[in-house]
Amino acid sequence: MKTAIIGGTGLYSAGDGRQIIQETEYGKAHLDVIDIDGMEVAFLARHGRGHTVPPHRINYRANMKALYDLGVRHVYASVAVGSMNPSYKPGDLVVLSDFLDFTKVREQTYFTGGEAGVRHVDMTDPYCKNLRQLFFDKAAELGVPIAGSGVYVTTEGPRFETAAEIRFMRLIGGDVVGMTNVPEAVLAKELGICYSAVGIVTNWCTGMTEDISGHEIDQLVGGRKDELTRLFIEVFKMHPVQSNCQCNASLI
């Protein structure tokens, strides 16, 4: 199996599949293996199939290592995000181009010293530039509107941000905010996996609007999840390779 989709909040399936539990040295990961015209694609619901795992308790290392051990080298992920960029409104799709990290208590690396070794990972392209381009190309070909690219601010959660925090995050270059993409993107890079994530805007960030009722996550994700899954699968059908990026040569 060479490709996988990681589903964020509101995206808990990408089609009928057989459920498997993959054991790793970091713990177990629960996955579906779906068959797309003879091509196997792994699907992993980041928060669990019933959304039972909060962002700070997700076993990111087990999830990414399980995909790696299955042979996966290309991953598309969906993330529910709040928008602090007036150009990106609820319901929009935003391709992540970079991140800012405000997480606090997460294991961010496989290289924890001792026998595990000490390595660093280059972050010139935190998200695979090839998968990002293929996604934009396929969206244009199929006529699926993509609002643009954006810098993702990762918070520890599970609380939302204060209005003062959002003012600060805008000042330092954030476009969207969520609670999960670090360390997921970092661990993918450590494993040499090509990884790209697309945000579905579910709300305006705190303080961006007077109306605080607009957190219709299921409705907003639900409105875009079929298009998004289709785009991911259509790119996977093109059998992407790792020779157009540096993702599997990023360890320092």
State the residues that interact with ligand HPA by CB under 6 A: 80-82, 155, 160-161, 177-179, 202-203, 205
Angle CA 226–237–150, to nearest 5: 55
Give whichever of 152 and 195 is closer to ligand HPA, judged by the CB atom: 152
Shortest CB 169 distance to ligand HPA, Å = 10
Shortest CB 209 distance to ligand HPA, Å = 12
Rg of the Cα atoms in the chain: 17
Give whichever of 111 and 160 is closer to ligand HPA, judged by the CB atom: 160
Helix H or strand E encompassing 186 = helix 181-191
Distance CA 198, CA 130 (A): 14
Shortest CB 161 distance to ligand HPA, Å = 6
Give whichever of 115 and 159 is closer to ligand HPA, judged by the CB atom: 159
Type of residue at 165:
E
Contact 43, 76 (CB under 8 A): no
Measured at CB, which residue is nearest to ligand HPA?
82
Shortest CB 190 distance to ligand HPA, Å = 24
Distance CA 111, CA 116 (A): 5
Give whichever of 78 and 202 is closer to ligand HPA, judged by the CB atom: 202
